[in-house]
A and B are shown apart, each in its own frame.
Chain A
Amino acid sequence: MLYARPWYRSDIQGYHRAKAVDATTAVKIIKNSEKPAFVVGELIVRDGEAVELLKEILKKLRNHALIATTPNAYREFSEFNVYYVNVVDAANLIISQDWKGLDGYGKPDLIVILGMFHVLMEQTLSTIRNFSDIKSLAIDRFFQNNATYSFPNLTRKEWLNYLRKLSDSL
């Protein structure tokens, strides 16, 4: 079992700890989800290699998962017929009782998230964790303590390997 400390020393919310997962477990989590939704932030766009790997992942999941990007990442991923949302708006909808989902057919049961300014991701995951039962999986380079599951803290090389494994196994 993997163990990880929050990347930021101050990212201690309370009793909750995200479960650190490797790429193999992440694949299982995504495959087990009935309605996963990817939320892709714009910071991923700064890393060309990561973008290419993510595109491979999204290609494989386009019939299984909903894909949303933050507005700045939209151009890069528009080929996937993505929704674009502000991340705070997205969290607000996710926790709302009356929201029917991006496609109008119900809420996702898993949010897979990456590519956001750390503080913003941390806080929106806190909202989702505290005000809904929806699970979340953070696949960024740094451990996200507010997610249900998260990659541990990784070097860039390790992280790209994790993404590659996701792409290969999904």
Chain B
Amino acid sequence: MNIKKLESKLIKGKDIVIEIGEVEEDYWDEEDKGQSKPSITTLRHWDHKLLKRYKPFYSPTCDMCCLCTFGKCELSHTKGACGIDMASQQARMSLLYVTMGTAAHAAHARHMLEHVISVKGRNHRIDLGLEVDVEAPITRTVVGIKPRTLADLEKALDYAEEQITHVLASTAMGQESNYIDFESKALHLGMIDNLVKEIADITQIVGYDLPKGDENTELAEYGFGTIDVEKPVILVIGHNAVAGFEILDYIERKNLIDEVEVTGICCSAHDLIRKNARAKIVGPFVEQLRYVKSGVADVIVVDEQCVRTDIVDIAKELKSIVIAVSDKACQGFRDRTNDDIESIISDLSSYKEHGVYIGDPSKVGVVAVEVARRIYLARKQFKRIPDKLEITEEAKKCTNCHACMRVCPVNLDIPSAMKKAKQGDFQELMLLRETCVGCGRCNYACPKGIDIVNLMEKANEKIIKEMKSKIRAGRGPIKDTEIRNVGAPIVFGEIPGVVAFAGCTNYYNGIKEVGEIAEEFLKRNFIVVVSGCAAMSIANYKTSDGMSLYEKYPGIFDAGGLVNVGSCVANAHIIGAAIKIANIFARRPLRGNFEEIADYILNRVGAVAVVWGTYSQKALAIGTGANRWGIPVILGPNGVRYRRLYLGRKDKPEDWEIYDARTGKKVIAEPAPEHLAYVVQSKEEAMVHIAKLVMRPNDTTKGRQIKLTHYIDLHKKFFGKMPDDLHLYIRTDADIPFSYKEEIMNMLKEKGWKPREIPDPTLSKKFVRV
């Protein structure tokens, strides 16, 4: 607004320019509790409370700091040139991992949001259906807005990106020095990671009409054996399914659905089947190298995250065409974004180029399908793995030097298997595949150039071809109606717990263990929620009656339900469900109210996350976010390589001091949950700890009885004895499971146990009600 001349009693002036940047319309009447858009220090006090109880445990993978030219510095029992010590350096490195992971999810959200806005417009409504009123629990709590349109999500994402910048800045030389404060920043970014995942998933739900909490989503086909290799085959790898959606749209428009196979690996595959259950999932990350090397895919579309960096080289050898679609992973290809579609198709089909970068997803849809249709017949010769005679000949090259074994992350005895294979016995090679993580390091290490991965595939050819299973398509959010049904039983402990499986496939003992753990807890009437590669690994597992767990158990968020929320970004809905319990069941307000919600979850919601096959930085970001909300995470053995855990000490009662919100008195509670980030060595240990980590100080006596029954039962089953810490978890006689009463009473007598009151637990004095 321009005002040439203004004369009033207060102001006199001329040539005044008034600019109004943005009108903030506040259409949410909930009171803001003061923690909206928290800075990196707003919730620092909460983090310090958590970290006082759950102290960081560091296991350095390297004694050096190589981050600046003042070094490199050796930090073992000394300090670096900048003054940093080992603990702070480890905290800094794990914070960098969290930052990478969060940035990957945030950039994913930004791309998705920009694309959907370009198609649907900024004012496109966020509507997750009649049964999902609390549409964005994390956004509501952290950003303090109730998003109605994509424009609102943009504001939330702006805030998140600013936080990532601030936190990343703190890791530069000469900035943060204290390990607890590094951890506080990691917890902060973990929370931001959860936020940006929620933004990404809501955007794709409303942008592409994905399921909105439907527990009966379709069962899609899973496994190598479901793919018709006689057809043109497209493989989509990565996490951002926009290009994959365009492929499906094009196929539908052209009525090619029965003519072309659209297959996926990793999270893009999850999102493809959420859009159209005719798409097929090959498997999780562990299958990526194997499947690409099988040559079955005519066209490989790589988007972002978890894409192997050797895909281009392998594809070139097998005459598979690669289309890169993400600016984060251009793969060295020429940018053909603005070129004519027909010329791109022609260049690729004639192998003038073996790959291209196309930044326009709608072009990718056409190019991928048409190139696959043109080249698939000529590529048939590449869709094969060596025959048994070839394996024997290849194995004869092996000199038993052990180079393969010395790089194998799970120490597979490949030399022994090769020795047998030389004599035509493939049994050991066959068994190796069960535990192999599909990384291919053995291939690269072999001085004779033996393709060990392919040999394992051939030895398992029959099993691979018969690998057919079902996976329930990801449903997205948990419905408010479901929360109303289960809120009370979860908080009071009558549903024993919620177990959430997330993350990658770096399994130390094979893919089957995730399914085995999930089945144990489904049978025990826990709610099992799954996402990402873990959800696929579960599809890989068959019950004793030959069924997939998805066929056997319902997709409802209730006792005994197996809930697949979808891709990794969709696992924001799992944390969302815990928040909704505090909001919908316990009527805790959300707006700018992080601390109260997290305090509620920590003390009352018996949820635990399991990341059994950790490898990515994103998995650490996801887990660290869960920790800030008060949800403990169990990691498989490889998780120790993240360098940092958050461990409680049950032998120190003073660490478990809380307030009784009814009286304001400080009381010593049980160590529940005992740890926030924990590593176990075996699936049996994982199961026992899941049963233990779902205990919360707020459990009713009936709920505690149920939880203790599972804990004792699993402990006895796997370790052959009663747990030795039972006395810590029994508050009154009424907590004692009836079936173990006598045994426990004797134990309690020996320990000098005395009954105590059950408090209304809170970590923060400000939530005391008197």
Contacts and interface: CB of A to CB of B under 8 A. Distances in A.
A139 to B, nearest CB: 17
Interface in B406-424: 406-407, 409, 411
A93 B721 CA distance: 23
A16 B63 contact: yes
Residue among B60, B74, B86 having the largest count of chain A Cβ atoms under 10 Å? B60
Interface in B711-730: 718-721
Contacts of A88: 57, 640, 645, 647, 678-680
B681 A72 contact: yes
A41 interface: yes
B309 interface: no
A87 to B, nearest CB: 6
Contacts of A15: 63, 74, 76
Given A75-B719, A123-B59, A8 B640 contact: no
Contact of B409 (A98, A116, A119): A119
B353 interface: no
A9 B60 contact: no
Contact of B640 (A84, A89, A123, A130): A123
A71 B688 contact: yes
Task: Give the interface SS of chain A, mostly helix, strand, loop or mixed.
Answer: helix
Contacts of A91: 57, 59
Given A14-B62, A117-B508, A123 B684 contact: no
Contacts of B62: 13-14
Interface of A: 7-10, 13-16, 41-42, 70-72, 74-75, 78, 84, 86-89, 91-93, 96, 98-99, 116-120, 123-124, 126-127, 129-131, 142
Contacts of B719: 71-72, 74-75, 84
Given A74-B721, A98-B652, A130-B58, 9 more contacts: A13-B60, A15-B63, A15-B76, A16-B63, A42-B681, A70-B681, A88-B647, A88-B678, A99-B651
6 contacts: A13-B76, A71-B682, A93-B651, A120-B681, A123-B59, A142-B411
B681 A86 contact: yes
A9 B60 CA distance: 17
B69 interface: no
B685 A72 contact: yes
A71 B411 CA distance: 22
A99 B645 CA distance: 19
Nearest to A72: B682
A24 to B, nearest CB: 26
B61 interface: yes
Interface in B666-713: 678-682, 684-685, 688
B102 to A, nearest CB: 24
Report, nearest first, the 4 A-B pairs whose CB atoms are least far apart.
Answer: A14-B63, A123-B59, A123-B640, A75-B720
B649 interface: yes
B718 A71 contact: yes
A41 B681 contact: yes
A92 B57 contact: yes
Contacts of B411: 118, 142
A116 B681 contact: yes
B681 A117 contact: yes
Nearest to A133: B77
B641 interface: yes
Interface string B631-670: 0000001101100010101011000000000000000000
Contacts of A127: 57-60
B649 A96 contact: yes
A71 B684 contact: yes
Nearest to B689: A86
B584 interface: no
A89 B637 contact: no
Residue among A98, A116, A120 having the largest count of chain B Cβ atoms under 10 Å? A120
B194 to A, nearest CB: 25
Interface string B156-200: 000000000000000000000000000000000000000000000
Interface in B35-83: 57-64, 74, 76-77
Contacts of A98: 652
Contacts of B688: 71
B440 to A, nearest CB: 15
A9 B647 contact: no
Contacts of B721: 74, 78
B57 A129 contact: no
A102 B678 CA distance: 20
Contacts of A89: 647
Residue among B57, B64, B86 having the largest count of chain A Cβ atoms under 10 Å? B57
A65 B647 CA distance: 27
B647 A92 contact: yes
A124 B409 CA distance: 17
Contacts of B61: 13, 123, 126
B76 A14 contact: yes
Nearest to B685: A71
B57 A9 contact: no
Nearest to A6: B406
Given A87-B681, A91-B57, A126-B61, A9 B407 contact: yes
Contacts of B637: 117, 119-120
A105 B745 CA distance: 28
B724 to A, nearest CB: 8
B74 A131 contact: no
A120 B509 CA distance: 13
A71 B681 CA distance: 9
A131 to B, nearest CB: 7
A130 B76 contact: yes
Nearest to A10: B407
A118 to B, nearest CB: 6
A14 B64 CA distance: 6
B60 A130 contact: yes
A69 B15 CA distance: 82
Contacts of A13: 60-63, 76
Nearest to A132: B77
A75 B647 CA distance: 26
A129 B76 CA distance: 8
A89 B718 CA distance: 19
B57 to A, nearest CB: 5
Contact of A86 (B58, B649, B680, B718): B680
A19 to B, nearest CB: 16
Nearest to A87: B681
A41 B637 CA distance: 13
A72 B76 contact: no
A99 B647 CA distance: 14
A3 B645 CA distance: 33
Contacts of B641: 119, 123
Contacts of A124: 59, 640
